[in-house]
Structure 1
């Protein structure tokens, strides 16, 4: 019986016994097998008592001499256990005896010793499904386990790295990395990826000329992620930087910044994108390698685009009028805070290359500049200025000036916005009364 068939029978049982157990049957989602992309097993998933439950049948695999794609067959518990990614992940719980069954004979001891090792020789395990490399990294980082040295060595084998890059769909890679970065210890996950030399197998570096390829090769991947670890860790215990500490306001903000940090080495390297024109290599590598959502890709693009502008604005916030500062924040949109944080990250990483020690007085001086900028933003009540509505509509401006509609209206509305930013207590009536002094455009 397949996992989907079992889940269907279970749903039927729950439906027929709803009065007795009061557990409603939920819809079943079937994930088809895809051997070409090393997704060998059909999986069914549903929710029971609020938990996501996967249903799969016990399996064994056999290979023919002329194909790398295994033939899937129903198997015994031991055969199934040996095909798992790690011994600690191959433990069974027998509902009849209420006992844990360890068919690899190493799962319980590995669990006690916090070690991740493969049931079969690691090279064979990773060849069967190279995504297991990332799964072990995720388990190790989230649970603070150690990867067995033989498994770590196999992860670095050229054939395994090639298979991870070519054999596994980018969607599956992206899902694993997302789970890592939303997990408890994202730094440890990225640190393992760096130490194992797997960055090139995960990110999809675009085609570059030889000169730019050298820029991509000769990079230090650790500075960015170490700096983010400090920002999200030790720095948050320091007093006097409340505004800066609050820049990452959600788990997604932190997730996006971790990705951005991983692409920091290529922040000054650009390539041509068919739709976007000149774009940052690291952002494109993350988009293509992890199959990022459009929303996440747009966020990373804006973070990269904003670096120079934010840095320039930070240098002299007191010299900006309220309208200039407000209009600049409006161009950044609702995610202006994470863009400012990305700029801070870039400056702190740049300081590393100049010999400034992480967390030293030099770093805190840089952060103080951002804190002053943010204090000005909040003192001027501009934190949500990106969502500020115009006091007047285009039609109201047109009628007040006695003009016909035209291209001039866009510029006129921006002048209205500038005026209301400099006059934050003004009303619609005030704007209409002063419209002829507010708007100065060529009518057409």
Structure 2
């Protein structure tokens, strides 16, 4: 991850002019695709059926032609394996073709080494459009979508188009990028580039839209995020005119009217879990769509209710309107690699090893300006009706899982509390009796294993903004971290009670009641302060304190 981030840290303008982009060399004049053994079997089957079908037709305007479209063609030309096979059909729907192919295989399954049951379930997938029929099945354990070639017409209010049968050229030009508009004609065993730019752009590492970018993005603003995802995934350049249109305020506004937060969340999570999340984040920041990506709720009624009932509403809105969030993201992008990779290689190893860990760390750093703010998540309750702004962004807008949203929000909202613990622990370094092991253990236990993320995200925030000596602050943080490991508290959240409830009740000869939870809570404190204590010793301690709570 970090190899390309070091170059990115020098500024995103370098990315946009394509000065140091990876290029992919292949013969543009005579491009070819090498099929693996499974793909050869699939294409043989499809070719045989196509030939049989066409032989039975008389006086047809156009023979049946099958093409593999989109990402599979792109990835194969880049020398990468792809398991995403979309078969485009010219004269019938995907459902019609898949059903007929199923009948053909029922008669000839022995020839193709495919049992009929392996494709007897065909699902129709509307992909959020009632006008689009797609059939999904499996051939040789590869999932395949069958869909007709199509043209699209968009309205001003929805990204879901009215879909009609189209030509291969119309189908190519409706796509998000020229390098995703390539076809592999199965029958003719050749690449088809109807935009005349797809092969060139793929070879040079350029992302551009087949049609004029402004209308392309107004029709479907999600394409802005898709291009950002491809740029980050392949380290490709976004063509300058396309990049300029991505920054258009009208397209930014179209996001909120046309695109569901679920679709935005899917793209953002793919970007942040990808091979170069900071490059994707840099393009989100530089195109100024951070207000779209990090919006805090999808329900306008809830937003309106907060406007009149949330005491922090104006401050929250200013985070977006003043450009504070955008400026913060720019700082994060420019400093992230220097801080985590150069200063903390052991921590960056964790980021490199886990896409989820990388995403959670980056999101925590990005959302620090949201720390301490709450919004009202429901207008129907007067109690327990608030949620942290960070958690709302993650859970309600980006659709990050509940557990991850809660954990990241905890990291963000605990930064100030963690600062206080760092400072207090450092000041007590010459008087260890003033801070018990249990104080630190209970504090860390609350983070459920994420204390180290809180530790470094909080320190990173100082790295970005601290007006005091960063060296002094870093020294304090190192002191606390060393103390945590020296006292074997790094896994404080895993500490289990020495005695279970039944053992406590029997030992104290009492019936269960509210007192038991309070005594058990004190028992955890005792275990932290007595790491080598025995069950018998703990029981004696619990006997001594039980009268206070019964």
Provide the C-alpha distance between the structure 1 equivalents of 2:131 and 2:245, rounded to a whole number of angstroms: 21
Which has the higher mean CA deviation after the structures are superposed, 56-65 or 15-24? 15-24
Q: Does 1:255 align with 2:359?
A: yes
Could you tell me which residue of structure 1 aligns to residue 292 of structure 2? 201
Structure 1, unpaired ranges of 5+: 357-361
Q: State the 1:91 CA deviation.
A: 0.6
Structure 2, unpaired ranges of 5+: 1-91, 297-302, 308-312
Superposition map of 1:35-54 within 5 A:
35=129, 41-45=132-136, 53-54=144-145
Could you tell me which residue of structure 1 aligns to residue 7 of structure 2? none
Tell me the alpha carbon deviations over residues 66-91 of structure 1, each in whole angstroms, 9 at most, x when there is no partner: 99964322221111001111111101
Match of 1:301 among 409, 421, 441: 409
Match of 1:323 among 438, 445, 448: 438
Tell me the alpha carbon deviations over residues 316-369 of structure 1, each in whole angstroms, 9 at most, x when there is no partner: 165432222111122221333333333233333332xx3x8xxxxx55654443
| Secondary structure in 2 matching 1:56 | strand
Contact 1:228–1:261 (8 Å) recurs in 2? no
Tell me the alpha carbon deviations over residues 175-227 of structure 1, each in whole angstroms, 9 at most, x when there is no partner: 01111001111111111111111122233245544455334422053444654
Match of 1:420 among 520, 527, 540: 527
Q: State the 1:374 CA deviation.
A: 2.4
Tell me the alpha carbon deviations over residues 301-327 of structure 1, each in whole angstroms, 9 at most, x when there is no partner: 212332222112222165432222111
Q: Does 1:94 align with 2:185?
A: yes
Q: TM-score, normalized by length of structure 1? A: 0.83
| Secondary structure in 1 matching 2:164 | strand
Could you tell me which residue of structure 2 aligns to residue 156 of structure 1? 247
Which has the higher mean CA deviation after the structures are superposed, 164-173 or 225-234? 225-234
Could you tell me which residue of structure 1 aligns to residue 455 of structure 2? 340
Contact 1:117–1:147 (8 Å) recurs in 2? yes
Superposition map of 1:422-437 within 5 A:
422-437=529-544
Could you tell me which residue of structure 1 aligns to residue 125 of structure 2? 31
Superposition map of 1:231-270 within 5 A:
231=336, 235-238=340-343, 241=344, 245=348, 250-270=354-374
Provide the C-alpha distance between the structure 2 equivalents of 1:210 and 1:67, rounded to a whole number of angstroms: 30
Contact 1:187–1:226 (8 Å) recurs in 2? no
Pair 1:282–1:429, CA change in 2 (3 A)? closer
Provide the C-alpha distance between the structure 1 equivalents of 2:318 and 2:255, rounded to a whole number of angstroms: 23
Contact 2:335–2:464 (8 Å) recurs in 1? no
Could you tell me which residue of structure 2 aligns to residue 359 of structure 1? none
| Secondary structure in 1 matching 2:414 | helix
Pair 1:50–1:349, CA change in 2 (3 A)? farther
Q: State the 1:130 CA deviation.
A: 1.8
Provide the C-alpha distance between the structure 1 equivalents of 2:111 and 2:472, rounded to a whole number of angstroms: 65
Q: TM-score, normalized by length of structure 2? A: 0.69
Tell me the alpha carbon deviations over residues 377-429 of structure 1, each in whole angstroms, 9 at most, x when there is no partner: 22222222212210112332233223332211111111211112222222323
Could you tell me which residue of structure 1 aligns to residue 273 of structure 2? 182
Provide the C-alpha distance between the structure 2 equivalents of 1:173 and 1:75, rounded to a whole number of angstroms: 28
Contact 1:267–1:282 (8 Å) recurs in 2? yes
Contact 2:281–2:333 (8 Å) recurs in 1? no
Size of the alignment, in residue pairs?
430
| Secondary structure in 1 matching 2:464 | helix
Contact 1:266–1:281 (8 Å) recurs in 2? yes
| Secondary structure in 1 matching 2:151 | strand
| Secondary structure in 1 matching 2:419 | helix
Provide the C-alpha distance between the structure 1 equivalents of 2:133 and 2:436, rounded to a whole number of angstroms: 61
| Secondary structure in 2 matching 1:72 | strand
Contact 1:85–1:119 (8 Å) recurs in 2? yes
Match of 1:121 among 212, 216, 219: 212
| Secondary structure in 1 matching 2:175 | coil
Pair 1:47–1:161, CA change in 2 (3 A)? farther
The structure whose Rg is larger is 2
Q: Does 1:214 align with 2:318?
A: yes
Q: Does 1:382 align with 2:489?
A: yes
Tell me the alpha carbon deviations over residues 40-71 of structure 1, each in whole angstroms, 9 at most, x when there is no partner: 64445566667664443211134699999643
Q: Does 1:310 align with 2:418?
A: yes
Q: Does 1:442 align with 2:536?
A: no
Provide the C-alpha distance between the structure 2 equivalents of 1:176 and 1:140, rounded to a whole number of angstroms: 13
Q: Does 1:2 align with 2:88?
A: no
Q: State the 1:255 CA deviation.
A: 0.8
| Secondary structure in 2 matching 1:201 | helix
Q: State the 1:11 CA deviation.
A: 6.7
Q: State the 1:148 CA deviation.
A: 2.0
Provide the C-alpha distance between the structure 1 equivalents of 2:199 and 2:214, rounded to a whole number of angstroms: 22
Pair 1:29–1:202, CA change in 2 (3 A)? farther
Could you tell me which residue of structure 2 aligns to residue 169 of structure 1? 260
Provide the C-alpha distance between the structure 2 equivalents of 1:247 and 1:374, rounded to a whole number of angstroms: 17
Tell me the alpha carbon deviations over residues 267-292 of structure 1, each in whole angstroms, 9 at most, x when there is no partner: 35443444855544344234333233
